[in-house]
Amino acid sequence: MIKFAFPAIALLAILLNNGAVAQNNKPLKQGRVVYEQLIKGGESSVTINGNSQTFTRPDRTLKWELLFTADQSLRRSIEADERPEADIAVPGMGAGMTGSVRMVSAFMPESTIWHNFPAGRRVDQRETVGKKFLVEDSITKHTWKLTGESKSILGYTCQKAITQTPVKSFNMQMQDGEFKRTEKWDTINVTVWFAPAIPVPGGPDFQGELPGLILEYDSRNGASITRAVEISETVKTADIKEPKTGKRVSKAEYDKEVDNQQKEMMDRMKSSRRANF
């Protein structure tokens, strides 16, 4: 069961706005939405041979489309910009020796994500290091708080909802030519705006959780913002189906597979480095 915290003023605002929705918003139970995602850059740091090095990550932009009916949705990528890079000098390599490390933005594998709302299922088709996977999982449930605030997005009156969610982050260190990665879990704030006039619990993320299509969400206090830029009631419903191509694994099995691939890559880099000296 989805958990909501409804302040009295929020509940009153929803009831009032539902009346406005019927007059001013065109109800949709199926359609297509195009989203644009801006991932803001900024300064980051990596520890190399005991020295903290700072580099600047440029902004990134991604574009997604969401095909939806009342019971299912399919999210897939449309386009993305190039992965930003930065060169960092490597100190402490020894007398007369210099070098640099090229830092590349975190890889975001292209994926097609299918959701079945009544069944609470999701299947994420991903391609990682030339291998295709079908990652099966259940729809995650969060505790949402409705604030009573509203605004218009693409002509639809949207309600504001907020929650928190755990995310994994990484810290990179380089010592004597070898990278070491440590991970930790953080809790981030998430703000979404959903349209009750589109009574489909879909969106670019957090699907199957709210009583209306999410048209905008903001995570990490503005570090990542996704907005709907186009809505159409025209959709090929035949495309909204569960992906079938790839090795079927659980979320835990997929995470383990990715970790193993990263370890293999690091081992190859170490072997190549030793062979060159």
Per-residue pLDDT tens digits for 137-193: 999 889 999 999 999 999 999 999 999 998 877 666 666 656 666 777 888 899 999
Global pTM? 0.73
The predicted pLDDT at position 240 comes to 97
Nearest CA among 232, 66, 213, 216 for reference residue 151: 216
In sequence order, the β-bridge partners of residue 182 are: 171
The predicted pLDDT at position 16 comes to 42
Alpha helices in the chain (DSSP H): 8-24, 251-275
The predicted pLDDT at position 13 comes to 45
The predicted pLDDT at position 8 comes to 40
Q: Give yes or no for residue 24 having a pLDDT over 60.
A: no
Q: How many CA atoms lie within 13 A of 52 on its CB side?
A: 5
The predicted pLDDT at position 26 comes to 83
The predicted pLDDT at position 222 comes to 82
- For residue 42, the 8-state DSSP code is E
Q: How many CA atoms lie within 13 A of 76 on its CB side?
A: 15
- What average pLDDT does this structure show over 193-214? 94
The predicted pLDDT at position 261 comes to 77
Q: Give yes or no for residue 69 having a pLDDT over 80.
A: yes
The predicted pLDDT at position 96 comes to 43
Q: How many domains does the chain have?
A: 1
Q: What angle do CA 194, 200, 205 make, to 5 degrees?
A: 60
Owning domain of residue 255: 3-275
Q: Band of the pLDDT at 208, cuts 50, 70, 90?
A: very high
Helix, strand, or coil here: 15? helix
